[in-house]
Chains A and B, each alone.
Chain A
Amino acid sequence: MAAGVATWMPFARAAAVGWLPLAQQTMPKPPVDKTSRSDEILFVNVSGLRFQTWKNTLDRYPDTLLGSSEKEFFYNEETQEYFFDRDPEMFRHILNFFRTGKLHYPRHECIQAFEEELAFYGIIPEIIGDCCMEEYRDRKKENQERLAEDTEAENAGDAPLPPDATLRDKLWRAFENPHTSTMALVFYYVTGFFIAVSVIANVVETVPCRPLKGSIKDLPCGEKFSVGFSCLDTACVLIFSCEYLMRLYAAPSRCDFARSVMSVIDVVAILPFYIGLVMPENEEVSGAFVTLRVFRVFRIFKFSRHSQGLRILGCTLQACASELGFLLFSLTMAVIIFATVMFYAEKGTKGTTFSSIPASFWYTIVTMTTLGYGDMVPDSIAGKIFGSICSLSGVLVIALPVPVIVSNFARIYHQNQRADKMRAQQKVRQARIRMAKKGATNAFLQHKEDGGLQGGDGDSTAFCVKNRSAFEHQHHHLLQCLEKTTNHEFTDEITYSEVCMMDSMGFRTSRSTSLSSQQGSTTTCCSRRAKRRAIRLANSTVSVSRGSVQELDTLHVTKTPVGTQYPQSRSSLNARTEDLKLNCTDYTAAIISIPTPPANSPDESLPNSPAIPGILRNSRSSTFNTQETVKISSL
């Protein structure tokens, strides 16, 4: 029920008195209205801007936030008002909706912001009034298209393939996005080159060359070097055929691919050759065959894969199909009218070129498009008069649909430009966003290193603590809880990448039993040793408090879940690094069992286990390292 009608409820109920004489039963008791009937003014404070309205106004739409009891959640007892921490400018429109029953869309606002506000206040956007509905719909569609484009750009082009992509997927990828791999790029340019060669050959073979010895007539080059040209043609067709077959094989949906425009162009480009092979060398049939050769020129359309401009043009023509159709229709009408008139006007003239109405068509078209070849010219006065009217009207009829086509082209062109710009800037944007996110995670790691975890470990930590907001404290605490829960720890990208690198480099450097001097590349081998030792140690440290050892038993270095720093392709390396880390952690677990525990918490020491002291560059003090290594050697 339209809420505005709620104000008429008392009237409708009063009018029910008119039914009473007819009623054959007693009327039911009316509902008791507990709320005070007298209207009151409500105060609504939206980010400092104070609005006042009648309670009745808000009650009109009981299924919105303001109309229902949901607004009580926002009631501020001290100031006796409803406080909303939202945009006050937008609230104006919301409140106007309650007042007038019509929702208007403010044109200068961002559509998403507006929709969010509507969602917050529980108003569905569908009730936007007719005056603003069109604008709203247009903007919304534009926005959605933009978002779709963006996600498409993100997903489609540059995302790396999942590692289990089949040959088919890879091939399709190479075809659709040539810039993803070198091979694809090479293929792209090679096909482009051959298209150009084929087209140029087609053109050149009709140029007259110097005649053969003993003959006077000029020969077209195609006949003089017929062998060469046919070889070239064959080669091009072979390459195009291969390309087409490969695309057909790689296409995820072969039916869709076969029906697409580009595939049709491909087929048309190579078909004449094959038809020519099949057809016999018959005189009368070869006439038709010659016609088929014309289709070779369609190879030039294959360039549209290489040129975005051509694609835009194609899109424009598609989008303006109705305007073009209208242009054609009106031109046809005008041509027929003027051709008829000219024919009859010139009928009397002797030896006139306007021999029939279809013959006059040519004159009309040439005149309307202001070409004016002059091969057909009216002689009679009437003919000249109508001829001039024809040329004037031609200008008008042709000029009218052109702006529509131009504006469509501009729109599509800008869209494409925008998409390209977005893609180019995407990488930079993502990099910057990643850096900002890193800042947050680094703060946590920094915090850990500074001994914040200890919580009250001397005065030195106290200073660090003060610099962090309550929010950061809670966030760090949360991350610590997560670490404890998963028995994994956060680390930074450098560490992780180094670990991966180490892992991939293998254990090839010279070994040294003295672990105290372990640095850099030798650490991997020592980690192997560490594993062996750890196994022994693990057994021997049973006596030590199980709790602490077990707690640290399987601590790994993991990818930080906050901020997707690590691309998917690293997943395959994960397992190995974890193994590696496992060695080190067991190793350090052994360290923990030493009666003299290190000053810093064991948690902290784990990521930069002494087995790999060189890896964490960021702030490990050398003393700390040596401290660790000393302990190792004591074992």
Chain B
Amino acid sequence: MWEILQDCWKSIPGEAGCENAKSVQSCHQGKDKIDDELEMTMVCHRPEGLEQLEAQTNFTKRELQILYRGFKNECPSGVVNEETFKHIYAQFFPHGDASTYAHYLFNAFDTTNNGSIKFEEFVMGLSTLLRGTMREKLEWTFHLYDINNDGYINREEMTEIVRAIYDMMGKYTYPALKGDVPKQHVDAFFQKMDKNKAGVVTLEEFIVACQEDEMMMRSMQLFENVM
């Protein structure tokens, strides 16, 4: 009933029709939103051919097929935007807040920096992480930590990352998070990595320090069977 009268009012040009009911305003807003959404769904990305991807990555055809099927099912438009990415990643960590870390992850995967991850970027990232050489993996991790992509990891960037990781733990941990645990963690990290005490960690320092760490090397190998 209200809607019919509102439609009559809306046809009256100018402010008169709009100021009466909030719902009228939201109608207008809704219309704009629909236009935006239409635009977005028009964007549909198709990946390069299977052979090309197979050549570029370390996956077999079958694996690529399985990956793409999952990817396409979740994102029929062929791209993942940051919101969806955050939502998906948050599902894995229901206890805490995974959005910050997901943001950094998204940036790490989005090599073209256009705000969306295409299938190629997704698969490349996965290929590096799962099938890449040790050096490639470490490079990838370095790029993850290096938020502003300047080639150096400074304390602030590291603190951000560590805080983001601790955020994923949530409030209820054992033992309880007391004091500034992320800061201590960052200090330990820099202790280990920053050999020349420059206050920043370069890629070479990072790789060398990690390769010296037996424990880390062993752990890296554990993740090879994920796919």
B1 to chain A, nearest CB (A): 6
Interface segment out of the listed A15-23, A408-416, A490-498: A15-23
Q: B215 on the interface (CB 8 Å rule)?
A: yes
Is the beta-carbon distance between B137 and A10 smaller than 8 angstroms? no
Over the window 121-163 of chain B, the binary record of Cβ atoms lying under 8 Å from chain A Cβ atoms (1 yes, 0 no) is 0100110011000000110110011000000000000000110
Q: Which residues of A contact B130 (CB under 8 A)?
A: 10, 14
Query: B22 in the interface, Cβ–Cβ < 8 Å?
Result: no
Asked whether B178 is an interface residue with its Cβ less than 8 Å from the other chain, the reply is no
Complex interface: chain B residues within 8 A of A38 (CB): 62, 66
Q: Binary interface profile of B, 171-212, with partner A (CB < 8 Å = 1, else 0)?
A: 000000000000001001100010000000000001000100
Contact between B206 and A21 (Cβ–Cβ < 8 Å)?
A: yes
Chain B 106-128, CB within 8 Å of chain A: the 1/0 string? Answer: 00100000000000001001100
Within 8 Å by CB of A8, from B88, B213, B216, lies B88
**B140 neighbours in A (Cβ, 8 Å):** 17-18
The distance from the CB of A162 to the nearest CB of chain B, in whole angstroms, is 50
Q: Which residue of A lies closest to B62 (CB)?
A: A38
Q: Is the CB of A21 within 8 A of B141?
A: yes
The answer to the question of A574 belonging to the interface, with a C-beta cut-off of 8 Å to chain B, is no
A547, CB-defined interface residue at 8 Å: no
Residues A29 and B222 in contact in the complex (CB < 8 Å), given A7-B74, A21-B216: yes
Chain B 81-95, CB within 8 Å of chain A: the 1/0 string? 000000011011010
A136 to chain B, nearest CB (A): 24
Expressed in whole angstroms, the Cα–Cα distance for A326 and B4 within the complex equals 13
A1-43 interface mask toward B, CB cutoff 8 Å, 1 = contact, 0 = none? 1101101111111111111111111110110110001110000
> If the complex has contacts A5-B91, A8-B88, are A13 and B1 also in contact, measured as CB distance less than 8 A?
no
Q: How far is the CB of B202 from chain A (nearest CB, A)?
A: 14
Interface size class of B (residues with CB under 8 A): 35 or more
Query: A323: CB under 8 A from chain B?
Result: yes
Give the shortest distance, in Å, between B141 (CB) and chain A (any CB). 5
**A401 within 8 Å of B by Cβ?**
yes
| B165 adjacent to A400 (CB under 8 Å) | no
Residues in B with CB closer than 8 Å to A5 are: 74, 88, 91-92
Given known A21-B141, A404-B1, contact A16–B223 (CB-CB < 8 A): yes
| Whole-angstrom distance between the Cβ of A400 and the nearest chain B Cβ | 7
B225 interface residue per 8 A CB criterion = yes
B79 part of interface (Cβ distance < 8 Å): no
A554 on interface, CB distance cutoff 8 Å: no
| CB-defined contacts of B67 to chain A, threshold 8 Å | 10
**Residue of B whose beta carbon sits closest to that of A404:** B1
Are B141 and A15 within 8 A (Cβ)? no
A624→B2 CA distance, assembly (Å): 84
Does B45 belong to the interface (CB within 8 Å)?
Answer: no
B interface footprint on A39-57 (CB within 8 Å = 1, 0 otherwise): 1000000000000001010
Residue of A with least CB distance to B129: A14
Contact partners of B213 in chain A: CB under 8 A: 21
A601–B89 Cα gap in the complex (Å)? 77
Q: How far does the alpha carbon of A274 sit from the alpha carbon of B206 in the complex, in Å?
A: 101
Smallest Cβ-Cβ distance to A8: which chain B residue: B88
Q: Does B70 contact A (CB under 8 A)?
A: yes
Chain A CB within 8 A of B18 CB: no
Interchain nearest-CB distance for A396 vs B (Å):
10
CB distance from B193 to the nearest CB of A (A): 8
- Which B residues touch A30, using CB under 8 A? 222-223, 225-226
Q: A22–B222 contact, CB under 8 A?
A: no
Find the B residue at minimum CB distance from A11.
Answer: B126
Closest to B66 in A: A39
Q: Mark A592-624, 1 if CB is under 8 A from B, else 0.
A: 000000000000000000000000000000000
Q: Do the beta carbons of A17 and B215 come within 8 Å of each other?
A: no
Query: Which residues of A are found within 8 Å of B141, using beta-carbon distances?
Result: 17-18, 20-21
With both chains docked as a complex, state the minimum distance between the C-beta of B50 and any C-beta of chain A, in angstroms.
Answer: 15
* List of A residues within 8 angstroms of B162 by Cβ: 22
Tell me whether A13 and B226 are in contact in the complex, defined as CB-CB below 8 angstroms, given that A2-B91, A20-B219, A21-B189 are known contacts: yes
The number of inter-chain residue pairs (CB within 8 angstroms) is: 113
Partner of B189, one of A22, A37, A323: A22
Query: What 0/1 readout, one digit per residue, does chain A (391-404) give for beta carbons within 8 Å of chain B?
Result: 00000000011001
- Contacts A21-B189, A21-B206 given; indicate if A12 touches B89 (C-beta within 8 A): yes
> Which residue from B92, B145, B206 sits with its C-beta under 8 Å from A12?
B92
* Interface-centre pick from A5, A99, A101 (highest chain B CB count, 10 A): A5
A8 and B70 form a contact (CB under 8 A)? yes
- B-side contacts of A7, CB under 8 Å: 70-71, 73-74
B53 vs chain A, min Cβ distance (A) = 16
Assess the A15–B226 pair: CB atoms within 8 A.
Answer: no
- B44, CB-defined interface residue at 8 Å: no
B186 → A minimal CB distance (Å): 9
B62 A17 Cβ-Cβ under 8 A: no
Contact (Cβ within 8 A) B223 A37? no
**Central interface residue in A15, A16, A56, by most chain B CB within 10 Å:** A15
B69: Cβ under 8 A from any A Cβ: yes
Which of B65, B137, B219 gathers the greatest number of chain A CB atoms within 10 Å?
A: B219
Min CB distance A24 to B, Å, is: 7
Q: Which A residues lie within 8 Å of B206 (CB)? A: 21
A1 contacts across to B, CB distance below 8 A: 91-92, 94
Say whether B165 contacts A19, CB under 8 Å: yes
| Cβ contact within 8 Å between B223 and A14 | yes
Looking across the interface, which residue of chain B has its beta carbon closest to that of A54? Answer: B69
Q: Is the CB of A4 within 8 A of B74?
A: yes
| Interchain CB contact under 8 A, B126 and A18 | no
A17 x B223 contact (CB < 8 A): yes
For residue B222, which residues in chain A have a CB less than 8 angstroms away from its CB? 27, 29-30
- A27 in complex: contacting residue of B66, B69, B74, B219, CB < 8 Å: B219
Q: Are B126 and A10 in contact (CB under 8 A)?
A: yes
Question: B126 contacts A33, CB within 8 Å?
Answer: no
List the B residue with the shortest CB-CB distance to A28: B222
* A15 x B73 contact (CB < 8 A): no
Which residues of chain A have C-beta atoms less than 8 A from B94's C-beta? 1
Residues in chain B near residue A21, CB distance under 8 A: 138, 141, 145, 189, 193, 206, 210, 213, 216
Contact B74 A22 (CB under 8 A): no
Is A15 touching B88 in the complex (CB atoms < 8 A)?
no
Which among A4, A20, A33, A326 has the highest number of chain B CB atoms within 10 Å?
Answer: A20
Q: Determine if A15 and B129 form an interchain contact, defined as CB atoms under 8 angstroms apart.
A: yes
Contacting residues, chain A, for B215 (C-beta < 8 A): 23, 25-26
Determine whether the beta carbon of B216 is less than 8 Å from that of A20: yes
Q: Nearest Cβ in chain A — how far from B16, in angstroms?
A: 16
Please report the C-alpha to C-alpha distance between residue A68 and residue B165 in the assembled complex, in whole angstroms: 33
Contacts of A10 in B (CB 8 A): 67, 126, 130, 226-227
Interface assignment of B220: CB less than 8 Å from any CB of chain A = yes
Taking CB atoms, residues of chain B closer than 8 Å to A33 are: 225
Contact A11-B223, Cβ < 8 Å, known A17-B140, A18-B108, A21-B206 = no
Is the CB–CB distance between B225 and A22 below 8 Å?
A: no
Q: How far is the CA of A2 from the CA of B213 in the complex (A)?
A: 37
What CA separation (Å) do A32 and B218 show in the bound complex? 17
Q: How far is the CA of A539 from the CA of B125 in the complex (A)?
A: 98
Q: CB-nearest residue of chain B relative to A9?
A: B92
For the complex, what is the distance from the CA of A10 to the CA of B1, rounded to whole Å? 52
The answer on a CB contact under 8 Å between A26 and B69 is no
- What are 14 A-B residue pairs whose CB atoms fall within 8 Å in the complex? A7-B73, A10-B227, A17-B129, A18-B105, A18-B145, A21-B141, A21-B193, A21-B206, A24-B188, A25-B215, A30-B223, A30-B225, A38-B66, A54-B69
Q: Which residues of A contact B (CB under 8 A)?
A: 1-2, 4-5, 7-27, 29-30, 32-33, 37-39, 54, 56, 99-101, 323, 326, 400-401, 404
Given contacts A27-B222, A404-B1, 15 further A-B contacts (CB under 8 A): A8-B88, A10-B67, A13-B226, A14-B130, A17-B137, A17-B140, A21-B141, A21-B145, A22-B162, A30-B222, A30-B225, A39-B69, A56-B70, A323-B1, A400-B1
